[in-house]
Structure 1
Amino acid sequence: MLLYKYRGIQGFRFFTDIILKNRLYAAPYFDLNDPMEGRYLYSQSDGKIDEDMARVLKGEKDKIRVCSLSRDPNNELMWSHYAEGHKGVAIGVEINSPKYTVRPIIYDGLHRIGRNNFNAGSAIDILSHKLDVWEYEAEERIFTPNKQYVDVEIKQIICGSRMSTQDKGFITELVEKINPSIEIINARTNSAYV
């Protein structure tokens, strides 16, 4: 299954790094754009927070890095928010290593945790839940323990519907020289012409 990373191309060095090195950046959870990232609801019958559990969870979350991708290559909001208003790209990748934990985001609000469901995977469980306002992202997350990059196999580059002819030509030429097996296509637009 292809997953997509929406990117602008103004920071061309970052785009080139992805193509040259077949990798995507994985951020610490606190650098992600959702201010509720990594938060959870504590659920215990006595209502008292288990301080040891909270400390362990914080430590575990701090060790994890996250690469956020989308299952949807044609999402108008994603193109607008993450690909410079349709002037960037969506990079279709396959995750080529079993060493990563890949999870779809569950859009049901903050994860509820207590002593009854606390385990070694609780930090990833917490980071796999988001508020429903983010549902449009159709997000899949790749989790990696303290590794700054996730190795990927790039299969496709979708050029945004508002990308300039010069940028499209440059990207096409660059990709053909680095890896001609990568498919380059134009984004579909759902907009009606007036």
Structure 2
Amino acid sequence: MTEIIYKYRTTDNFKNFVDIILNNRLYAAKYDTLNDPMEGHYLYSEGVLDRTILDLIYSQKQQLKLCALSKSPDNFLLWSHYANGHRGVAFGVRIDDVKYPVKEIEYLSDLAVIERYDEMTTKNILSKKLNFWSYEEEVRAFCETGNFIEVNIESLIIGKQMSDQEYGFIRKLIEKVNPKIVITRQI
């Protein structure tokens, strides 16, 4: 089981928000639907990887799903970008990292260079990003089948700009569905 890691979310799509709470799961997306246009790109030396290996890596990237989270519960920019300008939430979760491998992102000054292939190559490619994303302090959970990562929700941080009415509603919802979830307000 991982340490607590955080998923920043808007509550605008209430169905998706409630799905996380009711089903204890986070959506896992294909890498090419994420907001980084360089996601999954890499460099290799000609002759090091043959066409068969390149096709295998491509196929594996298409099949793998991933969920992007952060090590930080109080990242101001993540609250702004992914939690609707501090009006959303951050779920504090633990993930079974045997069932869903979890990798910390390695931030690089240039694209990742692949010099050989092994069973971890594709996950390693998808665990590298360019330096300017380092503010996210990202961690990724990988899913090989299905579209969801099962999680244990430990906490829910409410954004400082969320209305008192919505905050009260969410608090009541959590108390009824899973009163063990610790609810706090963003500082």
Normalising by structure 1, what TM-score?
Answer: 0.91
Equivalent runs, 1:23-34 vs 2, <5 Å: 23-34=25-36
1:99 counterpart = 2:99: yes
> Which runs of 5 or more structure 1 residues have no equivalent in the other structure?
189-194
What is the identity, as a one-letter code, of the residue corresponding to 1:113? I
> Which runs of 5 or more structure 2 residues have no equivalent in the other structure?
none
State the secondary structure of the residue aligned to 1:163. coil
Q: Could you tell me which residue of structure 2 aligns to residue 133 of structure 1? A: 132
Deviation at 1:100, TM superposition (A): 1.1
Q: Could you tell me which residue of structure 2 aligns to residue 154 of structure 1? A: 153
For this pair of structures, how many residues does the alignment match?
184
What is the identity, as a one-letter code, of the residue corresponding to 2:11? I
What is the identity, as a one-letter code, of the residue corresponding to 2:151? V
For residue 43 of structure 1, the aligned residue among 28, 42, 45 is 45
State the secondary structure of the residue aligned to 1:130. strand
Normalising by structure 2, what TM-score?
Answer: 0.95
1:88 counterpart = 2:88: yes
Q: 1:127 to 1:183 in 2, by over 3 A?
A: same
Q: Distance in 2 between matches of 1:118 and 1:181?
A: 44
Deviation at 1:50, TM superposition (A): 2.4
Q: Distance in 2 between matches of 1:8 and 1:50?
A: 43
Deviation at 1:96, TM superposition (A): 3.3
Deviation at 1:43, TM superposition (A): 2.3
Q: Distance in 1 between matches of 2:33 and 2:138?
A: 17
Q: Distance in 1 between matches of 2:70 and 2:89?
A: 13
Q: Could you tell me which residue of structure 1 aligns to residue 114 of structure 2? A: 113
Q: Could you tell me which residue of structure 2 aligns to residue 63 of structure 1? A: 63
> What CA deviation, in whole Å up to 9, does each residue of 1:104-153 have, x standing for no partner?
00001422113xx2112111010010000100000000011032000000
RMSD: 1.3
Verify the 8 A CA contact 1:65 1:145 in the aligned structure 2. yes
Q: Distance in 1 between matches of 2:158 and 2:179?
A: 16
Identity of matched residues, %: 46
Q: Distance in 2 between matches of 1:66 and 1:98?
A: 15
Q: Could you tell me which residue of structure 2 aligns to residue 191 of structure 1? A: none
Q: Distance in 1 between matches of 2:25 and 2:95?
A: 10
Deviation at 1:55, TM superposition (A): 0.6
Q: Distance in 2 between matches of 1:15 and 1:96?
A: 21
Q: Distance in 1 between matches of 2:83 and 2:145?
A: 26
What is the identity, as a one-letter code, of the residue corresponding to 2:92? G
Verify the 8 A CA contact 1:110 1:126 in the aligned structure 2. no
Q: 1:82 to 1:113 in 2, by over 3 A?
A: same
Verify the 8 A CA contact 2:100 2:141 in the aligned structure 1. yes
